Amino acid sequence: MKKSFQVIRILLAFVMLVSGALFAETHGEYTKADKDKPMSEGMKIIKQMKYKPLQVKVPKVGKEIERVVLPNGMILYMLEDHSLPQVNIHGVIRTGSVYENKNQNGLAEVTGRMIRQGGTTTRAPKALDEELDYIAATVETSMAADSGGLYMNCISRQTDKALEIMADVLRNPGFDQKELDLVKSQVKEKLRRKNDQVDDIGDRLFYSTVFGDHPSGWEPDWNVIKNIKREDLIAWHQKYYKPNNMMFAIVGDFKKSEMIDKFNKLFGNWEKGDVDFSSLKEIKYEFHPGVFIARKDVNQSYVRVGHLGVKRDNPDIYAIKMMNHILGGGSFGSLMVEKIRSDEGLAYSVFSYYNTESRDYGTSGALCQTKSKSTMRALELMRLLIAKMQTEKVTPQKLQWAKDTYINGFVFEFSKPSQQVQKLMLLEYNHMPSDFYEKYLNNIRKVTVDDVQNAAKKYLHPDKLSIVLVGNPAEFEKPLESLKMDIKEIKLEDFVE
């Protein structure tokens, strides 16, 4: 599965690169040397082509997609697709690590893995694996920051059996003690190697700096994780895994009426109940400017700058998307890639991002890895380009490039029926307008040059950046003091059992 995803990502990257190059040649977003070349006959033909604006057909809930609420509050989003003899189900449960207390740090992740890995009260872990293998089905569970997840896939003639196993996993997790010990040992090994890679160190340091005393910024604590007991997993499951706290996106070779009957049969006697979300801790919107350096004897530095961003219901997310795409989120053609990679050759990969999908405040920033002796120059350019977005308007051609390449990439997010149903289900889960995606591309197209600059002025804070560096400052071309900012050294501590 992972290999197939990697192949798809490589193919998409190639398509984006080629389409970006074609657009660049037809809209002036290419180098002076390229401009001096005579236009080929093929490109002359391409320049004369006219197309209607690209549209994404978003199915409607209540029309192509049926939404059903079962008597116990469980919500189903269903789309029949008989093109292949299979059924796919994505489930989402309102839970996650953001509901942890400090003395529970890591419990949510362990619980998410153990709900499936630990077997059920009637199926031992190995027996569960063998039963799923026998019918060529998959059932997996997971845990993210603000959601629990479930995935099921099976051939359609094994739907009844796969659904029965899925229901058993969700309703009756066994939390096998040997599997719990195995999961904790895997977490332990991960913590033992936490300082091996500069990007792992830098990411951890950045989130702990930006989020502060919030679950999103807490580092895993072995003293907490090693003491997690089976009873803790049971308590977490009983607290959050209730039918009225779950949604399912169901796509594939089935009949809707029959699927509803199957869910009622398997889950109908699971009673709804109140869920206590009082432990949810909101992120404080504050900045932590300064330089945070972790010394590591490597020849490449990790450079990351950023701060808190916006929540997903911010009305300016469309202008923010285009602003970030131009700054460094748009790969080839974005300002950071042009300047830091192409012009100065300081980094193979450099990019910016601005998270607009989080319920609470997400993060924004830019990062790259560069040679030790070019660390300060790469950092200087990143800060300069962020500030430049505020002081200089982008050209209409650059904005049009951003819109076209962004929209061309966006269409792939709705290319499969399973993607469509899952995205529409998550709109409800995230309390977003049901017509969000129907209006999305038109809202992107409406963004103006002034909108981009206004977004940069309002939502970029180059004077309040948290600057995270992992590397060997003795090899930097300039001393850290030249930044004229507060410098805090973060000591990398070895894992202690």
Name the band, by pLDDT with cuts 50, 70 and 90, for residue 39. low
In this prediction, residues 248-267 reach a mean pLDDT of 98
In this prediction, residues 166-183 reach a mean pLDDT of 98
In this prediction, residues 80-89 reach a mean pLDDT of 97
pLDDT at 74 over 90: yes
Name the band, by pLDDT with cuts 50, 70 and 90, for residue 30. very low
Name the band, by pLDDT with cuts 50, 70 and 90, for residue 12. very low
Residue 59, pLDDT score: 85
Of 379-383, 414-418, 441-445, 468-472, the least confident: 414-418
Digit-coded pLDDT (tens) for 196-205: 999 999 999 9
Other residues' Cβ atoms within 10 Å of the Cβ of residue 94:
17
In this prediction, residues 175-185 reach a mean pLDDT of 97
In this prediction, residues 323-329 reach a mean pLDDT of 97
In this prediction, residues 69-87 reach a mean pLDDT of 97
Q: How far apart are CA 408 and CA 23, in angstroms?
A: 11
pLDDT at 16 over 50: no
**Higher-confidence residue: 3 or 387?**
387
Q: Report which residue type is found at 359.
A: R
User: Using an 8 Å Cβ cutoff, are 304 and 468 in contact?
Assistant: yes
pLDDT at 454 over 90: yes
Name the band, by pLDDT with cuts 50, 70 and 90, for residue 46. low
Question: What strands lie across the sheet with 290-295, from one edge to the other?
Answer: 350-354, 363-371, 300-308, 466-471, 290-295, 487-489
Other residues' Cβ atoms within 10 Å of the Cβ of residue 102:
11
In this prediction, residues 114-142 reach a mean pLDDT of 98
Name the band, by pLDDT with cuts 50, 70 and 90, for residue 43. low
Name the band, by pLDDT with cuts 50, 70 and 90, for residue 19. very low
| Closest to 463 (Cα-Cα) out of 343, 267, 288 | 288
In this prediction, residues 424-428 reach a mean pLDDT of 97
In this prediction, residues 359-377 reach a mean pLDDT of 97
User: Using an 8 Å Cβ cutoff, are 174 and 118 in contact?
Assistant: yes
Q: Domains of the chain (ranges plus CATH)?
A: 2-48 (no CATH), 66-267 (3.30.830.10), 290-489 (3.30.830.10)
Digit-coded pLDDT (tens) for 266-309: 999 999 999 999 999 999 999 999 999 999 999 999 999 999 99
Beta-bridged to residue 248, according to DSSP, are 76, 91
Name the band, by pLDDT with cuts 50, 70 and 90, for residue 162. very high
pLDDT at 17 over 70: no
**Higher-confidence residue: 110 or 44?**
110
CA atoms within 13 A on the CB side of 186: 12
pLDDT at 13 over 50: no
User: Using an 8 Å Cβ cutoff, are 267 and 167 in contact?
Assistant: yes
Other residues' Cβ atoms within 10 Å of the Cβ of residue 271:
11
pLDDT at 235 over 80: yes
Average of per-residue pLDDT values in the chain = 91
Alpha-carbon distance values, 434 to 61, 118, 431 (Å): 8, 37, 9
Q: How far apart are CA 443 and CA 440, in angstroms?
A: 5
In this prediction, residues 391-408 reach a mean pLDDT of 95
Residue 497, pLDDT score: 77
Q: Please state the three-class secondary structure of the chain as a single string.
A: CHHHHHHHHHHHHHHHHHHHHHHHHHHCCCCHHHHCCCCCHHHHHHHHCCCCCCCCCCCCECCCEEEEECCCCCEEEEEECCCCCEEEEEEEECCCHHHCCHHHCCHHHHHHHHHHHCCECCCCHHHHHHHHHHCCCEEEEEECCCCEEEEEEEEHHHHHHHHHHHHHHHHCECCCHHHHHHHHHHHHHHHHCCCCCHHHHHHHHHHHHHHCCCCCCCCCCHHHHCCCCHHHHHHHHHHHCCHHHEEEEEEECCCHHHHHHHHHHHHCCCCCCCCCCCCCCCCCCCCCCEEEEEECCCCEEEEEEEEECCCCCCCCHHHHHHHHHHHHHCCCCCHHHHHHHHHCCCCCCEEEEECCCCCCCCEEEEEEEEEHHHHHHHHHHHHHHHHHHHHCCCCHHHHHHHHHHHHHHHHHHHCCHHHHHHHHHHHHHCCCCCCHHHHHHHHHHCCCHHHHHHHHHHHCCHHHCEEEEEECHHHCCCCHHHHCCCEEECCCCCCCC
Name the band, by pLDDT with cuts 50, 70 and 90, for residue 51. low
Of 32-41, 174-183, 332-341, the least confident: 32-41
**Higher-confidence residue: 485 or 51?**
485
Q: Report which residue type is found at 346.
A: L
pLDDT at 145 over 80: yes
Q: What percent of the chain has pLDDT over 90?
A: 83
In this prediction, residues 411-415 reach a mean pLDDT of 85
User: Using an 8 Å Cβ cutoff, are 437 and 427 in contact?
Assistant: yes
In this prediction, residues 407-414 reach a mean pLDDT of 88
